[in-house]
Structure 1
Amino acid sequence: MFITAEPIRILIVDDDEDDFFITDSVIKDISGGNFIVHWCYKYTEALDHICHKRYDLYFIDYFLGAKTGLDLLREAVERDCEAPMILLTGKGNHALDIEAMRVGAADYLTKPELTVEKMERCIRYSMEKARSLKALRDNELKYRNIFERSKDAIFLADTSLQFITVNMATSSLLGYTAEELSNMTFYDLMPEEKEAESLRELIKTGEVDDVETDLLNKNGEERTCIFSATIIERPDGTHYVQGILHDITGLRKAEKSVLMAEKLAATGRLARTLAHEIRNPLTNIHLSLDHLRTSDISEAQLNYFGIIQRNAKRIGAIISELLDTARPSDMILQNTSLQDILDESITAAMDRIVLKNIKLQIRYPEHILFIPADKDKLKIAFLNIIINAVEAMEEEQGRLEVVVINHPHACEVRITDNGTGISEENLQRLFEPYFTSKRNGLGLGLAATLNILQAHHAQVDVHSVMGVGTSFVIMFRHKSREPFPQGGGSTAGDAAEKKLSS
């Protein structure tokens, strides 16, 4: 019994009309059948029907003139035909049967052996199989779209976390193509071996739930991600890992900026309070000194007078420096060449660079990059970073690199040295006012630098490895770009490289 609510549209593709009538009569004898049967004897016409999905089921004879039913099957499959296709032959052939199934036929029947029972079973099984395959394809397409369109990085890997399949977000995050990643493991991207070992142990439990980890992309940039993974068992008993990476690099940078701004604000309040409380008695000291200067004092007392006067002035200068560091700088922002500011900063530090015989490398884009900046203040910020880099490097072994990279919406300045590096503990406190690792330092240089950069709405990030070096990465949003004038022109970087090479 074959009962369907909607009629099943069937096309019989056969160049013999008598064979068509035989096949049609067998189909019509199926009890409870609800079929609409049409005949087609032309190969090209049949292919057109298949391509336009006009029928639910196709019976295709093997012999179709110059071409065969297998040829029609192949072309139909290449054009994404989803309807079941059944190959008919005049006599049984096992090799043909195997080839038909391989090409994509839903079933294989021999005409002399056709019976109503076989035909009913063939149609029913073929239609059910087609519905199941369509449901599978729809689900696969749905989940494939989720996989490919996800903004989070999703990947499949083996149990050693070697990548098998990755989505576009994974390639975008890590900077590698899918083919490049297929030759890598997740651990290859982790800069810290201790973290990699911890993850190896954790993955053995079968579940990794929201672990924060740092990864290095192809450009060597560090990305902070939340990593989750699950080990899944296949039907054959083997296992694979499904992993998800959520990039939180921007969030962490924003958190650092907010935290640093809060620290600077708190420090500023403290500095202003201290300055007020100290300047009152300091004013009395200055007034007393002025009074003593008009009195008769001995030669011995004059030495003490000078000591008091010099130290009072020094206290006043320190208070002024504290206040300048703590309060937001008054900026006059004008559209200025970023390369010019860097050139002047490098020139100001050139004596120190040459005295320590440090190799300087400068790389700028071909076009001048303009940013809204207070040239004098920003020059001080760059100079502080460059001087710190110079002081961190060994004489005659130092390498200082100043690089400017033009991104679609921002300019990146990267100042890198191969100095002693900064410990993780000190890196967290790097821009704090009054924190310094120098014996005679006040810890105000980088605090003032951060204050200036934040007033320029710049993003600052610092990467450092002990014994390897430090890299300051500063991002500015730029206004416009203009090409260099014809004929070019030398920069401080050119002059520095010429000077050092000579």
Structure 2
Amino acid sequence: MEHKMHKILVVDDELSVREALRIILKDNFEVILKDSAEAGLEYLNFNEVDLVFLDILMPGMSGLEALKIIKTRPQPPEVVIVTATRTVKNAVEAMKHGAFEYVTKPFDVDEIKLIAERGIENHHLVLECSSLRQQMENEKERFYKELEGKVRERTAELEEANRKLRETHEQLVRSEKLASLGELVAGVAHELNNKLLPVLAYAQLLKEQKFPDGILRYVDTIERSASAAASVVSSLLNFSRPSSATRNPVDLNATMRETLSLLDYKIKAGRVRVKVELEERIPLTMADEKQIAQVFLNIINNAFQAMEPNGGELNIRSTRKGDNIFFTFTDTGCGISEEHMLKIFDPFFSTKGSGGTGLGLSVSHGLISAHKGEITVKSKVGKGTTFTIRLPITRVMEESAVKEEPIRYTPQRTKPRVLVAEDDPDCMLAITDILKAEHEVISVCNGQEAVKNLKKENFDLLIVDCRMPGLNGVELYRWLIENKSELQRRVIFMTGDIFVPEIKSFLEKSGCPYITKPFVMDDFKRTITAALTAP
């Protein structure tokens, strides 16, 4: 391959000088000759060279003026100034404007060759440095772009993680609120249930008496009001501590249809169009149907209220995804603001003013959580809201083929002796009055008094309140196991706060029957009969 020779441009107005330089350089370089600065610049406009020998004094444009113009070009060649007189002033001026070297006439051949080689070498080093610098700039730009992309990607990941963290924090705060309020409600419920028990019990005892119809109407009102108050207390407990669900095989699609049938008149009379799409391949799952129906009803009622008074559309869908069943409720109502979205599952929060208790969604959240499910919401103000319920599919257990034998009560020759331990005097009196016709009743107000009686007398049955000052019901039962073990299966516990985990756990482990306050008198009597006739 033929080696490409480096180009040298010689610019001088004297022919002899041009020829002298050409002769010196021609063996190793391609030499181009020009007789004026203007001609040399014109050549450089269209051609690249590696080195320029430039006479400092020429007619027209001087060498220094030409040097200044050459050095303004991108990647200019090196320039060697040629002069007949060596003066410090000219040398300094030339170097100041970028000249590579300064030579005088007449020439030293070896010096010219050496300067030419050094000038071309320096020019190529400058070009190489410029190329490397450009490569570095390109790499830097590419690196910054990649870094910027990675930063954007990482920022998006962090924003998503932060969003999930906020949601988790909100759920944690909500759970803590529910737990704190649950403790408060449990204590209040215990006291309220104690006060409701004698009201309900005496109303039921009075109904067994012969009174005029007008008086019985009063008694019925008292009983209904006491029962309603008991239901309110139960609802307050349910929102934060759902009771143990009665799990049975449930067709959730059928539950949804039954719930909608309850609202049939409201749907037909209102301005809301209801569209239902239920996936038929949804299997049976173990659930408390009443609790799930309550959740469905709460969400549907909320959707109707969100679309008042103009109406709208409610879409209800069920789907199965893997081991989960999903129900979605999408309405075209007013939507929920971001501010309210943070509070909608909080107890007693309501946007309905005096028209709502603020417990519907709190209760729903608790019930779905008790089923190990999840309830979520998405909303846009002015567009509508979507509630999504996820319930895990729980394998249907086969029912036992063994049926319990009905309890047969065999009347005893003497009245059974019953010891009642109850710290609330009104509750104690009411229980005594219910039992005294068919039982011999001894009533005490705490566990210590119960122990004293048990040490000196025999009893057929104990009715014990779980929470009492001093020796409570749990501690009394432990004393029985150690000292009167024959009576450990002859105990009925009473409680007004079955939702307290410690009490609930104790009752389950003991295996003893229990009844919650306030109770229906007939249920109470059946429980006593079953306990007395148990083997």
TM-score class, shorter: 0.3 to 0.5
Normalising to structure 1: TM-score of the pair?
A: 0.47
Which has the larger share of strand? 1
Question: Which structure is higher in RCO with an 8 Å CA cutoff and minimum separation 6?
Answer: 2
Q: Larger radius of gyration, structure 1 or 2?
A: 2
Normalising to structure 2: TM-score of the pair?
A: 0.45
